[in-house]
Amino acid sequence: MAPPGSGLCLSLGWRFDSPPSSISALSLVVGIAVVRALERLGATDLTLKWPNDVYHVNRKLAGILIEMRSEFSGPCIVVIGIGLNVALSPDARARINENATDISASSGFIPSRNLVAASVLDELVLILQDFASSGFHPYRSQWERHDYLSGRRIRLEMPARVVRGVARGVAPDGALLVEHGGMIEPFIAGHIVMETDP
């Protein structure tokens, strides 16, 4: 539980008339929208960790969670949840299990949470409208420019398998590409552990 005023948690419900062809990449384009919004507010050195985290200088700044309900040939309803650290106190940082940072560290000032929410929602609406018709393709190069994992040694943990290798970007459908055993294989899910310090 974040201390009062230290973070921003927001949810957006969105209806696609039919599931976009690259719906598996939705969390990636949402991450791009968050990066754009924060850059508008002066944040720098932001990266995206597949599939749903925003980082600043090797520390987690924001996380994304998406729930989806769709029918075979009907509408697709998604609820996009975003949690952003705005201004964490030293005590709050000490209580968090993982390396965390906040918007004030990435931008040099503490923006109002209303301003952050408005900026994020503006970018989300723009990107979701385009994603419905264009898919992930127009955003893949933007993801690659901000890709936190690219070229790093990782361990991908899945229920029935563990893969160790080097992250090699994302596929056209948003799957993580991992080079291992002399090949590059796409993965659509799994827990990532860094094998070496960034």
What is the tens place of the pLDDT at every residue in 159-173? 999 999 999 999 999
Q: ∠ CA 189-7-115 to the nearest 5 degrees?
A: 105
- 140 shares its domain with 184: no
Furthest C-alpha separation in the chain: 50
Which residues form the domain of 165? 153-194
Alpha-carbon distance of 173 to 21, in angstroms, equals 8
Binned at pLDDT 50, 70 and 90, residue 71 comes out as confident
Alpha-carbon distance of 169 to 148, in angstroms, equals 9
- 76 shares its domain with 118: yes
Last residue of a domain, one of 113, 128, 145: 145
- 59 shares its domain with 136: yes
Q: Which helix (H) or strand (E) holds 53?
A: strand 53-56
- Mean pLDDT, range 92-112, rounded to an integer: 79
Query: Is residue 96 in some structural domain?
Result: yes
- 14 shares its domain with 48: yes
Alpha-carbon distance of 145 to 149, in angstroms, equals 11
Last residue of a domain, one of 145, 162, 184: 145
Alpha-carbon distance of 189 to 76, in angstroms, equals 20
- 22 shares its domain with 111: yes
Q: Is the pLDDT of residue 4 over 70?
A: no
Alpha-carbon distance of 86 to 46, in angstroms, equals 14
- Inter-residue contact 12 to 124 (CB < 8 Å): yes
Alpha-carbon distance of 102 to 60, in angstroms, equals 8
Which CATH number fits the domain that encloses residue 114? 3.30.930.10
Query: Is residue 1 in some structural domain?
Result: no
Residue 6 is predicted with a pLDDT of 82
Residue 111 is predicted with a pLDDT of 84
Alpha-carbon distance of 66 to 14, in angstroms, equals 11
Considering only CA atoms, which of 76, 75, 90, 198 is closest in space to residue 148? Answer: 198
Q: How many domains does the chain have?
A: 2
Between 94 and 158, the more confident residue is 158
- 70 shares its domain with 163: no
Query: Is residue 2 in some structural domain?
Result: no
Alpha-carbon distance of 195 to 182, in angstroms, equals 18
DSSP three-state, residue 107: helix
Q: Is the pLDDT of residue 143 over 60?
A: yes
Which CATH number fits the domain that encloses residue 162? 2.30.30.100
Residue 108 is predicted with a pLDDT of 80
Q: Is the pLDDT of residue 192 over 70?
A: yes
- 91 shares its domain with 176: no
- 189 shares its domain with 137: no
